[in-house]
A and B are shown apart, each in its own frame.
Chain A
Amino acid sequence: MPSAPPKVAVYKFSSCDGCQLQLLNLETKLLELVGAVEIAYFLEARRRVLPPPYDVGLVEGSVSTPEEEDRIQQVRRDCKYLVAIGACATSGGIQALRNWANVEEYARYVYAKPEYLSTLETASPVASHVFIDFELRGCPVNQYQLLELVSALLTGRKPNISTHSLCIECKRLGNTCVLVAQGKPCLGPITQVGCGALCPKFNRACYGCFGPMEQPNIPSLGQWFTERLGHTPRDMKRMLRLFNGYLEPFKQASEHYERKEKGG
């Protein structure tokens, strides 16, 4: 074992900075983490940059410009382990809504001189471009999952991150079911665990910010929402097409409801 502490790099692509901020939000644990690793590249936090290679690279954000398309390749070359953190990096994020739209029309709507923009037709997850070693879901990522991930990588074990339905955690916490008891269109049954079941705790329906669980039964939940709760195909499309809308199988299901919305 070499005596030098492992080098960690934190990269930003198209994103809101919230997942990087979750690292800083570790607060006192951050100081312990900083003691255990060498923060070699983390522009949001420090000016000093150490040269690559890095032992662990954390990537926040989706790939949405030609420059990012090139940069992600270099990032992959620079990092031994590469981890996509957060909904943008793992699914394309909210900005992936452009993937179903005309980007030129979007650009004309927001910018007076869209011809100066340099942007791709799509916003895509990191894994569409390079091999990644692990993914952490969430909009934003859970800071304790982040800590678990870094600890696991540094000690050479598999990160202990569950991929089952949010409902299981929600039941364990003893929350009243907002779907069954209050008829709210909760995405918990098809959403991956990790947020701490915050929305039901706050008396509202889960909006799926950790993305799809393993093998979700979306048609069954969709049937419940449309037949028993009176939601329209457009409602279904909106619910599925949010922060993880471009990630399968949310993507495919949202396209199904879009066809229904248009009279299919």
Chain B
Amino acid sequence: MNAAKKKNDDVRTIQVKALARVEGEGALNLTMRGGKVENVEFKIYEPPRFYEAFLRGRGYEEVPDITARICGICPVAYQMSSCHALEKAMGVFEQVDPAIRSLRNLLYCGEWIESHVLHMFMLHLPDFLGYESAISMAQDHGAIVKRSLRIKKSGNDLVELLGGRAVHPVGVCVGGFYRAPRPSEAAALLPEIQSCRDDLCDLMLELAGIVQFPKLERDYEFVALCPDDEYPMNLGRIKSNKGLNVAQEEFGTVTQEQQVEHSTALHAVLKARGAYAVGPLARLNLNAEKLHPRSAEVLQAVAKAIKQPLPWRNSYLAFLARGIESVHALALAADLLGNYTPPVRSRIPITPRSGIGGHGTEAPRGICWHEYRTETDGTIASARIMAPTSQNQKTIEEDLCQLAEQVAALSDEETAMRCEHLIRNYDPCISCSTHFLKLTRTNV
């Protein structure tokens, strides 16, 4: 769509005016000269909504409900990051009960399942199988689409169990939950979660057999939360495969939201290191040994089927990483539901105070890091939010430069489709990216 061809010597410009099948609004401009990439512009024209600005002056208890509205696809990630950061600001972070932490993981399982499965099957798989949308894909692969919709729904069911609705759930508060589920509600959900877990295990093996993954290997710096004893969701130091190892609070000081000259982009880089990648591939490469046993089995089988052991340095394989993480989330959710007893209290008491707290959690697309400063009555004095897509944006651009050279011989339409496919490897949630409008980078 929108592929326009302008002949001017041997310069050709490929434009994708509106990226389809991404959450939000983006566009891509690619200028090539004689098979060499001259310019790549991955533009984000999502209007600014100024969340950090209007959070100032609001009450701390309101924050999880407000930041949820940054993104309708991953509201739980915003709620979780806000809660942890504010619990640090209020000095109660260490007091949160393990039972509350388990419920937070259960909620996050729901969001990972619904977000990952939505992206994999509704937005990304059509690229691999050669369809313009899941609607067209359903005509030939109806069974796969139906199975995936059912699995996605099981993720929504988990979020609804803890928050009433899948988009902007209402159950979360700073300090825990307004209400814990009844044992009967948890038990009622268990059989469906188990069944979806088993079905997704099968589906992943089928997919590994039929999907071909384009080759595009790069030496990424993968950054993810790395807790000692579990696959990352809510807690853990922030580490990379190239030696980064910082406490949660320090992440804001080792990253920099850069503005490139002649562009309105703000994108995060590691100071003195450059671009980095967050998300399912980063988490999997850094934490594979902590996967749930059911998911570890699937990883082993899938890696064998595609003949590629970890680490995976090909962003197309993020498709499989999402599936493996979804199996993990379903298996973990089944365990948590199976062992569920209501917590003694669903939330811890909080006395407002002035303080500062920074914390990131693993949104489906990668680290979502928040920092808040509060006044003595709990009013927000300052807010900083780093969304996953703003952290991945520079990496996406660098990928595009490499891909464009590979596809130089193809038609403009085909090149545009290949570039779109690559962008979708990152599941870019552009609504989340409160911090950039347009990205322009000239490759000399």
Contacts and interface: CB of A to CB of B under 8 A. Distances in A.
Interface of A: 12-22, 24-25, 27-28, 30-31, 34, 39, 43-49, 64-65, 67-68, 93-95, 97-98, 101, 103, 105-107, 109-113, 116-119, 123, 139-140, 195-196, 198-199, 201-204, 207, 209, 235, 238, 242-243
A15 B150 contact: no
B81 to A, nearest CB: 16
B135 A39 contact: yes
A216 to B, nearest CB: 21
B264 A31 contact: no
B31 to A, nearest CB: 21
B21 A98 contact: no
B149 A112 contact: no
B48 A119 contact: yes
B325 interface: no
Contacts of A201: 164, 179
Contacts of B54: 94-95, 97-98, 101, 106
Contacts of A117: 48, 264, 437
Contact of B72 (A17, A28, A45, A65): A17
Number of contact residues on B: which range applies? 35 or more
Given A45-B133, A68-B47, A243-B69, 8 more contacts: A14-B49, A18-B168, A43-B25, A47-B126, A48-B133, A98-B50, A119-B47, A202-B171
B73 A17 contact: yes
Q: Which 4 residue pairs are nearest across A and B when measured between Cβ atoms?
A: A18-B72, A46-B133, A116-B264, A198-B164
Contacts of A116: 263-264, 437-438
B71 A17 contact: yes
A27 B73 CA distance: 15
Nearest to B53: A106
Given A110-B52, A202-B164, A31 B149 contact: yes
Interface in B170-227: 170-171, 173, 178-179
Given A16-B71, A111-B48, A196-B164, A27 B171 contact: no
Contact of A16 (B138, B263, B431): B431
Contacts, number: 189
Contacts of A34: 135, 138
B118 interface: yes
A19 B431 CA distance: 13
B73 A48 contact: no
Interface stretch (B59-67, B83-91, B299-307, B404-412): B59-67
Interface in B38-54: 45, 47-54
B434 interface: yes
B132 interface: yes
A27 B150 contact: yes
B357 to A, nearest CB: 19
Interface string B145-163: 1100110110010000001
Contact of B53 (A17, A27, A105): A105
A102 to B, nearest CB: 10
Contacts of A27: 149-150, 152-153, 156
A75 B20 CA distance: 18
A19 B166 CA distance: 11
A243 to B, nearest CB: 7
Contacts of B49: 14, 64, 94-95, 123
B58 interface: yes
Contact of B47 (A14, A30, A140): A14
A103 B47 CA distance: 13
